[in-house]
């Protein structure tokens, strides 16, 4: 009897899963598919790029790709304006990322509940208004990280670039997105870096195993090690959250995400909400530290590849520091470096897809009548779009300072952004998304990148052992790009700053 009951349940689950798949497949089947339906033998970013040129550019139509073990509709850029003002619950980013990375296996409904918006609000209303005050804090932590990781020697030090810059940004981000007590705590840094890395690694294992309709079921045991890393971080962080709650109750305020969350959402201080608060903080750390580390590494590659680029950026930074000191005005005057960062992100983004969303609650209708049913997953081919920039001369070639004059002469937009700044977005520059769904942490990310790059070029000489002018080959996984993990560079303290 027991066996029969279990068999019935299993059969029911299989039939239910297949019926759902068939319903979704019926919609995706209306569009031309690029790559395999089950497994892409070619890299996903190549499949997306091919679809963009062969289908979207020729016909103006969307196409379907297999991405993170699911079908996604890849949209032509003309639809960006329709997406721009859409409600974030209707076209949901958090649901998309939670589903792609199977985050429900470690954080439950953190990404699917309406309270997920809290993580965005903490950045918009807590972090961003304080950015000017965070410059000396980020500079201090960056300086400490360089000293701690390189030691006091004045000789050339060999480092693995991605690992080094990843840890520098992780430590600096921890000071702001967690607290000052933990950014120099060796145990927390070690466990939190393992935690952030395991999110991506665990997701890759889940989506690349041939699990079929049982993928969601097996995602739970596969995520076991990741959950251990999460629990270790939560255990260390818990006492610091309690301390921050007591400080907040006594009127003490600190410039970190724990205090901003408590101030904006007083209910998070209740003991029954602590686990959710801890998970929000740790996932904000993941978002705020992982991408900047990779971006900095890519900027370093281009500084080393392009003749005189380091000297040009260093001279600009020296002049700015001499005139303004380490200040908001100093960072805002780094037009050449800002252009260099923007061009690096344009040609070498962290991913080949952006503005990834899932339609929830009700169908979404575009201005031309195309209607996406509930449950449809879609995104835009950011890398292909950025390499095909109509208004740029030779858009496929790297020109680090192409935006400098435009940016310097350009008046700020009403929101304070300059059109050609590294942190600004438009329909042909999408590393941070677009419209209402643009990444709210992009200002923090660009600020952190500028501080790390400026600190490096002013205080250190840098070189590598490559004799060729090509970029170190990145790791391409599921349309995401990770800078070459093995490439080494050499840093030496400058004698005359």
The tens digit of pLDDT for each residue in 192-204 reads 999 999 999 999 9
Joined tokens for residue 257: 């995400």
Beta strand 70-74 with 475-477 is unpaired
8: pLDDT strictly greater than 80: no
12: helix, strand or coil: helix
Beta strand 364-365 with 91-92 is unpaired
Q: What is the mean pLDDT of residues 200-223?
A: 94
The answer to whether residues 428 and 386 touch, using CB atoms and an 8 Å cutoff, is yes
Tell me, rounded to whole angstroms, the distance of Cα 343 from its chain centroid: 17
Helix-, strand-, coil-residue percentages of the chain, each rounded to 5: 60, 10, 30
> Residue 392: what pLDDT?
87
Taken in order of first residue, the domains within the chain and their CATH numbers are 101-350+389-427+431-493 (1.10.630.10)
Number of residues written out for the chain: 497
In percent, the amount of the chain with pLDDT more than 90 equals 82
Name the DSSP letter for residue 472.
Answer: P
186: which residues sit within 8 A by CB, 6+ positions away? none
Distance CA(186)–CA(182), nearest Å, equals 8
Whole-prediction pTM: 0.92
CA distances from 70 to 261, 319, 338 (A): 34, 51, 36
In percent, the amount of the chain with pLDDT more than 70 equals 93
> Residue 12: what pLDDT?
45
| C-alpha dihedral (121, 127, 128, 132), degrees to nearest 10 | 170
pLDDT-derived band at 13, boundaries 50, 70, 90? very low
The answer to whether residues 385 and 80 touch, using CB atoms and an 8 Å cutoff, is no
> Residue 5: what pLDDT?
55
Distance CA(382)–CA(45), nearest Å, equals 10
Beta strand 70-74 with 377-380 is parallel
Distance CA(445)–CA(176), nearest Å, equals 12
39: pLDDT strictly greater than 80: no
Q: What is the mean pLDDT of residues 156-175?
A: 97
Q: What is the mean pLDDT of residues 431-458?
A: 95
């Amino acid at each position: 009897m027991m066996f029969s009951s279990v068999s019935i349940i299993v059969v029911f689950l299989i039939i239910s899963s297949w019926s759902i798949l068939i319903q979704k497949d019926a919609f995706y089947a209306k569009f031309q598919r690029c790559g395999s339906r089950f497994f892409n033998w070619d890299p996903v970013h190549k499949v997306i790029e091919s679809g963009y040129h062969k289908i979207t550019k020729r016909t103006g139509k969307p196409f379907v790709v297999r991405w993170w073990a699911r079908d996604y509709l890849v949209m032509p850029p003309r639809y960006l304006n329709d997406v721009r003002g859409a409600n974030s619950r209707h076209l949901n980013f958090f649901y998309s990322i939670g589903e792609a990375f199977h985050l429900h296996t470690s954080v439950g409904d953190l990404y699917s509940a309406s309270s997920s918006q809290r993580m965005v609000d903490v950045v918009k209303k807590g972090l961003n208004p304080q950015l000017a005050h965070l410059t000396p804090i980020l500079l201090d932590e960056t300086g400490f990280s360089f000293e701690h990781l390189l030691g006091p020697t004045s000789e050339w030090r060999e480092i693995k670039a991605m690992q080094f810059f990843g840890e520098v940004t992780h430590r600096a981000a921890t000071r702001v997105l967690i607290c000052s007590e933990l950014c120099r705590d060796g145990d927390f840094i070690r466990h939190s870096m393992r935690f952030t890395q395991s999110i991506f690694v665990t997701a890759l294992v889940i989506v690349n195993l041939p699990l079929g309709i049982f993928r969601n079921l097996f995602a739970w045991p596969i995520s076991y090690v990741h959950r251990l890393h999460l629990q270790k971080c939560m255990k260390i962080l818990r006492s610091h959250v309690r301390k921050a709650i007591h400080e907040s109750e006594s009127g003490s305020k600190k410039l970190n995400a724990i205090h901003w969350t408590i101030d904006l959402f007083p209910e998070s201080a209740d003991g029954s909400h602590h686990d959710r608060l801890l998970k929000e903080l740790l996932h904000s750390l993941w978002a705020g530290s992982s991408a900047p580390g990779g971006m900095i590494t890519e900027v370093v590659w281009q500084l080393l590849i392009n003749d005189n680029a380091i000297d040009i950026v260093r001279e600009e930074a020296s002049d700015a520091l001499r005139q303004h000191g380490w200040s908001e005005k100093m960072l805002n005057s780094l037009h050449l470096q800002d252009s260099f960062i923007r061009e690096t992100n344009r040609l070498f983004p962290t991913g080949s897809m952006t503005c990834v969303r899932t339609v929830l609650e009700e169908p979404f209708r575009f201005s031309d009548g195309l209607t996406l049913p509930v449950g449809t997953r879609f995104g835009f081919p950011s890398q292909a779009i950025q390499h095909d920039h109509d208004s740029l001369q030779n858009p496929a070639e790297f020109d680090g300072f192409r935006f400098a004059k435009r940016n310097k002469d350009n008046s700020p937009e009403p929101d304070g952004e300059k059109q050609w700044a590294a942190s600004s977005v438009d329909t042909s520059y999408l590393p941070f998304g677009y419209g209402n769904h643009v990444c709210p942490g992009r200002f923090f990310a660009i600020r952190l990148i500028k501080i790390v790059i400026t600190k490096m070029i002013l205080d250190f000489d840098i070189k590598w052992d490559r004799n060729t002018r090509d970029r170190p080959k990145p790791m391409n996984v599921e349309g995401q790009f990770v800078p070459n993990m093995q490439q080494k560079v050499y840093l030496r303290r400058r004698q005359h700053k």
